[in-house]
Structure 1
Amino acid sequence: MSITSIAQKLYFARRQNELQKHINHGADLQQKVLESLLCRADDTEIGRRYAFSSIHKYETFAQDLPLNDYESLKQDIDRMRRGGEDILWRGKVRWYAKSSGTTNDKSKFIPVSKEGLQQMHYAGGRDSVAIYLMNNPNSRIFDGRALILGGSHQANYNVEGSLVGDLSAILIENINPLANMVRVPKKQTALLSDFEVKRERIAMETLNKNVTNISGVPSWMLSVLLRVMELSGKQHLEEVWPNLEVFFHGGIAFTPYRKQYEQLITKSDMHYEETYNASEGFFGIQSDPNDKSMLLMLDYDVFYEFVPMSELDKLNAYLAAPMSAKPEKPTVVPLWGVEVGKNYAMVISTSCGLWRYVIGDTVQFTSTNPYKFIISGRTKHFINAFGEELIVDNAEQGLAHACLETGAEVLEYTAAPVFMGDDGKCRHQWLIEFAREPEDLDRFARILDDKLQEINSDYEAKRFKDITLQPLEIIKARQGLFHSWLKQRGKLGGQHKVPRLSNTREHIEQLLKLN
């Protein structure tokens, strides 16, 4: 009997049965989560401020509590980082996940409580494996090592009592010591802040290990795997790690990288499972390998709400207004109010003290029994300069189709509007770094443009007869451009990512200058 089969029986079987409650009982699970969160936080400052002890139904919760972004919680979070207790969550929160910044600050510091670690982040890791084993009962995943990429962390000595790091580093720092027996690289290596040094050490440390599974962000993992290939002199990764069977990936869309992974790993029994793990919490797992949508995890310490994307302007106006002069709230629906096929901005309340927090991601439900969804984009990562409402999911579909038709492979990309000139003409400008260039870049652009019109009626309307929105423009990026840009900004490795779509030209102008 393999170690994996023993682990399945002793540790995962019970949880696999519990996951069946996500079918038919999703709303009940979420109601219980809300009750639990309010009860555990009723004696905190925010609990007393909004009388959590007297809230017994969702409607009261939605009416009494404001919607929040980081700016509106920042003052309380800063007090927590200085050692304050019982503010947004009970007790003292020691860890803070460093995330990309806001308009007013270089970085955000997301609280990560002990409960949040266990009941969201580690629960998500456990369930990712549980679901994988359900789909692959003959797995030998625990008979070898797990390669897990980590970020970096540092004690923030300027703020008493708090520690700051990438979420992945926080997870590695606090993980059960037994888990370190089955993971690589060494903890010291995983927590290195210099990604280029870390990549080299990871490759050296894992080269001769029996790696059965890998976990991380596709772009950074690919960089590590290519270095492993260089050191090994092999042609395919299964020649280095013959027992490799699954890649648990998340952080960015996998579509631009899939073909490169399939060329690197050619074995027919290689599996890929997407997860949705953010600094703010763990939210979804791909439960069916033949369906790209993810199962929304409903019995963690996360209560979900959703704002229809049609009310995004109203949401942004609400969040931007001072607390003393808030306009009317946008429409917000709980889980049981969502509809299949609609885009929503996601709102969460968690045991880390994020209450009705607009996370910045947009999702689209593909099913409501069970609740399954795709990440459709970001509330700030879209192009709507001319009413075209282009979202990241549109871009991913369009690029995948153009690559299929031309044999090209996209490594990285970003896109932004070129605003109207004196002639009233405008267009979208795409900066693309290819792993394999198309023979005819103009044809690639036409196919991409046509596909975007096919899947987005607003884009199609604006492109009608080239009257206003002209055919999109593609600029070829030099090799390593996006890597250089991230390095220049101190954002190599970890959970840092390239902004795919932007309604302004801030990022693309920096990249064009480097190009």
Structure 2
Amino acid sequence: MISTVLTWAVQRRLDDIEHFRQHPHEVQQALLKSLLRTARDTEWGQRYGFADAPSAREFAQRVPISSYEDLYPHLERVLQGEGNVLWPGPVQWFAKSSGTTNARSKYIPVTRESLQDGHYRAGRDMSAVATLLYPEVDIFGGKTLSLGGTHQGNPFREEGSGSRVGDVSALIMQNLPAWAEFVRTPPLELALLDEWEEKIERIAQHVRHVDVRTLAGVPTWMIVLIRRVVELTGAQNIREVWPNLGLFLHGAVAFGPYRELFRQLIPGEGMHYLEIYNASEGYLAFQDEPNSEDMLLLLNHGIYYEFLPSDQWDVPAPQAIGLEQVEIGRSYAVIISTNAGLWRYKIGDTVRFTSLAPYRIRISGRTKHFLNAFGEEVVVENAEAAVAAACQATGATIRDFTAAPIYFAADNGASRGGHQWVLEFVQAPTDATHFAEVLDQTLRQLNSDYDAKRHRDIALTPPDVIIAPAGTFERWLARKGKLGGQHKVPRLSNSREFLEEILLELRN
């Protein structure tokens, strides 16, 4: 009865989903007007004339595009408890991002509106789509196992202020509505533990006795948990522990390199996978079709979108375009204005559109998370696909990887470069040389700029592949105090900072 009622309740959202699919521009314009009206009396709203109800074009002309560093002087005041700066009233919750493109943590405001009208509304929509696509799983007939991070007191305020900072997953779980908390596991006292190793162990002990129907979390840590549950129970595989398991809602990293491993961990038919794009700044998209890697852009969830073409990423006064101007296949940096007070904010991610009716996207990388030391313009999407192809060709299963440029001296005064890759495997490739060859060949097929630089080794030499022992990346993250939660290994970087640290880890 409970499952039937909850399924009926969430599926009432299907009409709203269909509405923004059919009327995307009208929905986005109405949302922008609502955001500006709500924030008109804030300091930011008064500075840029939100009370005038500016059009989308006027809004773009008045308000500058901001990076986190640009916005930080205002965010710092919000962190310290000042109200009505970017959004009405004081903000009590802040998502702490690992900042994979720089060494500093980022503190992203999480307001009541961004939780209710963003994360939770999108969560209900995702549940509605899942129950429609896979009714046989009966996701509300059992529990959803969600892995998240933790939260702590706000270091910018006095103790006892009630303000908290932490992983966005922890903030979401801490504030979940009662119905959602009823269908999830483990209990909060386990889900929000600080020590990641202890958390995995205690959660595994708890959930081995639970009827888990759905998994939700980052693939890398879900693998660790599943394996520990199997070890504790002495089962052959997780199907023997959770016979009704049928759905994994995954995000944070590309799933391609992990797909085969999950097929091994969860054998048999009837297991489904849906990707979600839920960032610290908001819930942006989710996969709404089976057998597709495309995600539906969420247009009525507290986020107004603009997009920067690649030729505008590094110019002094970048010019963004609206949703109605995007084109299929091009990579765009995402610019958002939100009900948490982020105004024309560069989220750092890049996407490309795969459909314009409705608007569907794939994450293609990050504006500062790519390899372009020699004009090759390799984005994370290229790297993930190449690693997945090399794994398939050599029977390997990847755990994590990173890559950075490497330079060599060359004859005749010319300079040649290359890419150095450090990869950690669950199952190592049968032939490491062949792995490197397939990695290189796939990148050449996917990226014409890379292929041109690789022609006859004139500008780029073949990739230098280093296979790291198990636990290398985990030790590196632990050493940096970034083990667990939303923290992850940077896939690509034009700087060798991260790679050199990991190479040092290998030598120690």
Residue identity in the other structure for 2:196: F
Please say if residues 95 and 111 of structure 1, whose CA atoms lie closer than 8 Å, have aligned partners that are also in contact: yes
**2:138 corresponding residue in structure 1:** 140
- The whole-number CA distance in structure 2 between the counterparts of 1:433 and 1:495 is 19
Shift of 1:422: 4.8
Number of aligned residue pairs: give it. 500
Greater shift, 78-87 or 102-111, is seen at 102-111
Which of 488, 493, 504 is residue 495 of structure 2 equivalent to? 504
Residue identity in the other structure for 2:372: N
The 5 Å alignment of 1:273-352 reads: 273-314=274-315, 318=316, 329-352=317-340
- The whole-number CA distance in structure 2 between the counterparts of 1:105 and 1:83 is 25
- The whole-number CA distance in structure 2 between the counterparts of 1:451 and 1:268 is 30
Q: Alignment partner of 2:353: what SS?
A: strand
- The whole-number CA distance in structure 2 between the counterparts of 1:439 and 1:118 is 49
Which of 366, 373, 377 is residue 378 of structure 1 equivalent to? 366
Which of 385, 409, 429 is residue 421 of structure 1 equivalent to? 409
**1:326 corresponding residue in structure 2:** none
What fraction of aligned residue pairs are identical, expressed as a percent? 48
- The whole-number CA distance in structure 2 between the counterparts of 1:103 and 1:167 is 18
Residue identity in the other structure for 1:407: G
Q: Which runs of 5+ in 1 are unaligned?
A: 319-328
Shift of 1:179: 2.9
Deviations 1:482-508 (A, max 9, x none): 111111111111111110001010000
Instruction: Say if 2:388 is the partner of 1:400.
Output: yes
Q: Alignment partner of 2:340: what SS?
A: coil
The 5 Å alignment of 1:96-115 reads: 96-101=94-99, 106-115=104-113
Deviations 1:54-73 (A, max 9, x none): 13311100101000011111
**2:19 corresponding residue in structure 1:** 21
Residue identity in the other structure for 2:89: G
Residue identity in the other structure for 2:127: V
Instruction: Say if 2:172 is the partner of 1:171.
Output: yes
Q: 1:263 to 1:102 in 2, by over 3 A?
A: closer
Deviations 1:440-462 (A, max 9, x none): 11111111101111110000111
Shift of 1:105: 6.6
Residue identity in the other structure for 1:211: V
Please say if residues 190 and 202 of structure 2, whose CA atoms lie closer than 8 Å, have aligned partners that are also in contact: yes
**2:5 corresponding residue in structure 1:** 6
Return the TM-score normalized by structure 1: 0.95
Residue identity in the other structure for 1:210: D
Q: Alignment partner of 1:169: what SS?
A: helix
Please say if residues 417 and 428 of structure 1, whose CA atoms lie closer than 8 Å, have aligned partners that are also in contact: yes
Q: Alignment partner of 1:313: what SS?
A: coil
**1:268 corresponding residue in structure 2:** 269
Instruction: Say if 2:427 is the partner of 1:436.
Output: yes
Please say if residues 16 and 134 of structure 1, whose CA atoms lie closer than 8 Å, have aligned partners that are also in contact: no
Instruction: Say if 2:484 is the partner of 1:493.
Output: yes
**2:209 corresponding residue in structure 1:** 208
Shift of 1:334: 0.9
Shift of 1:102: 8.5
Q: Alignment partner of 1:23: what SS?
A: helix
Shift of 1:331: 2.5
Q: Alignment partner of 1:138: what SS?
A: helix
Greater shift, 398-407 or 410-419, is seen at 398-407
- The whole-number CA distance in structure 2 between the counterparts of 1:102 and 1:210 is 35
Please say if residues 131 and 138 of structure 2, whose CA atoms lie closer than 8 Å, have aligned partners that are also in contact: no
Residue identity in the other structure for 1:461: A
Shift of 1:176: 1.8
Shift of 1:311: 2.2
The 5 Å alignment of 1:239-258 reads: 239-258=240-259
Residue identity in the other structure for 1:261: F
**1:446 corresponding residue in structure 2:** 437
Please say if residues 212 and 245 of structure 1, whose CA atoms lie closer than 8 Å, have aligned partners that are also in contact: yes
**1:187 corresponding residue in structure 2:** 188
Residue identity in the other structure for 2:469: R
Deviations 1:235-265 (A, max 9, x none): 2111001111111111111111111111010
**1:130 corresponding residue in structure 2:** 128
Instruction: Say if 2:467 is the partner of 1:468.
Output: no
Please say if residues 4 and 139 of structure 1, whose CA atoms lie closer than 8 Å, have aligned partners that are also in contact: no
Greater shift, 132-141 or 294-303, is seen at 132-141
- The whole-number CA distance in structure 2 between the counterparts of 1:23 and 1:104 is 36
Which of 56, 59, 63 is residue 58 of structure 1 equivalent to? 56
**1:81 corresponding residue in structure 2:** 79
Q: Alignment partner of 1:333: what SS?
A: coil
Residue identity in the other structure for 1:281: G
Greater shift, 118-127 or 18-27, is seen at 18-27
Shift of 1:193: 1.1
Q: Alignment partner of 1:90: what SS?
A: coil
Shift of 1:78: 1.2
RMSD: 1.4
Residue identity in the other structure for 1:197: E
- The whole-number CA distance in structure 1 between the counterparts of 2:102 and 2:442 is 37
Q: 1:104 to 1:505 in 2, by over 3 A?
A: closer
